[in-house]
Amino acid sequence: MLKLSAAGVVSDGSQGANSHRFRLPIVIPGVHDLLPIQGVILFDIDGTLLSTPATEESERRRYVEAVRDVIGKEPTVVPPRFAGMVDPQICKIILTELGLNEDEVSNFLPRVLLRLREIYPTLKKELVLNEGVRELLEILATSPNHVIGVLTGNLKAVAEEKLASTGIRTFFSELFCADDYFDRPTLVESAVRICTTKHHLDSRKEVAIVGDTPRDIEAANASRATSIGVASGVYAMDQLRKAGAMHVYPNLEPTKELLGALGLMP
């Protein structure tokens, strides 16, 4: 794993001729905003930034309690089944499977989503960052030519709570959430379009989407972004490759290969 020193030097920790190290650009106050952006990196949350086993119970409870509080029926929810889906889509499926007709789903869904936003901050949670996440974010934060963001199927209130609770919210200047979306491809297309225009990128390939499910990868490819798969969720590396990921890694440890894929190697 590569490490960042106080002097801004990234190295693999080895000594001698076989060691690998490079110095990241120095960020000068007042100059950072004038430098051209070379890339935007958007991370999924659940399974990518955060550990799936650690979040599974609170994920299950937020859906169960929100639906139960609104319609009086308690659904059976298995979170891994919905990996890569977005919250409005998941809630719509749950309501339909409880036997509600289309009109009833349309009537109750906004109330369920509102309750979902209200409930999540009150739940007892044990949120754990995946391997390498904090180290990678600390390295990315030193690059004046990259924008770091989040692209998640969570509602904004839920995403904000997760990022704040794990102490990583300040790393991200872009946040794309699923409040107004019923499928991941539409959410991703919107995020890529906004980033490409806002940051004056030459190509959609300069937006890298990092996710742990085939749905993340397929949506990234459909939007013509760079797709990076990490097998830190419920899917294996081979499954992410089969989904079409341009790069695949076992986790987010900041290796020279991962940093290269993210555009940070010299």
Q: What CATH number should be reported for the domain holding residue 111?
A: 1.10.150
pLDDT in tens, the chain (266 residues): 555 554 455 556 555 545 555 445 444 444 344 456 789 999 999 999 999 888 889 999 999 999 999 999 999 999 999 999 999 999 999 999 999 999 999 999 999 999 999 999 999 998 999 999 999 999 999 999 999 999 999 999 999 999 999 999 999 999 999 999 999 999 999 999 999 999 999 999 999 999 999 999 999 999 999 999 999 999 999 999 999 999 999 999 999 999 999 998 75
Residue 1 lies in a domain: no
Instruction: Look at residue 13 in the predicted model and tell me its pLDDT.
Output: 58
Residue 9 lies in a domain: no
Q: What is the pLDDT of residue 37?
A: 74
**58 touches 124 (CB < 8 A):** yes
The last residue of a domain, from among 122, 148, 182: 122
208: which 2 tokens? 């890298």
Same domain, 224 and 239: yes
Same domain, 171 and 251: yes
- The answer on 110 and 235 residing in a single domain is no
Question: Same domain for 163 and 173?
Answer: yes
Long-range contacts at 56-60 (CB < 8 A, ≥ 24 apart): 56/80, 58/120, 58/123, 58/124, 58/125, 58/126, 58/127
3-state SS class at 229: strand
Report in angstroms the alpha-carbon separations of 174 from 33, 52, 56, 103.
Answer: 15, 23, 25, 35
162 and 40 in a single domain? The answer is yes
Residue 148 lies in a domain: yes
Q: Which domain holds residue 75?
A: 53-122
| Residue 57 sits in the same domain as residue 186 | no
Instruction: Return the beta strands (E) in 114-204 as ranges.
Output: 146-151, 174-176
Q: What is the pLDDT of residue 60?
A: 94
Q: What is the pLDDT of residue 55?
A: 87
How many domains does one find in the chain?
2
> How many helices and strands (H and E) does the chain possess?
9, 9
Residues 38, 68, single domain; the answer is: no
Q: Residue 3: what pLDDT?
A: 55
Contact 2, 23 (CB under 8 A): no
Q: What is the pLDDT of residue 17?
A: 46
pLDDT of 264 reads: 87
pLDDT at 66: 97
Are 254 and 150 in a shared domain?
Answer: yes
Q: Are 42 and 150 in contact (CB under 8 A)?
A: yes
Domain end marker among 83, 99, 122: 122
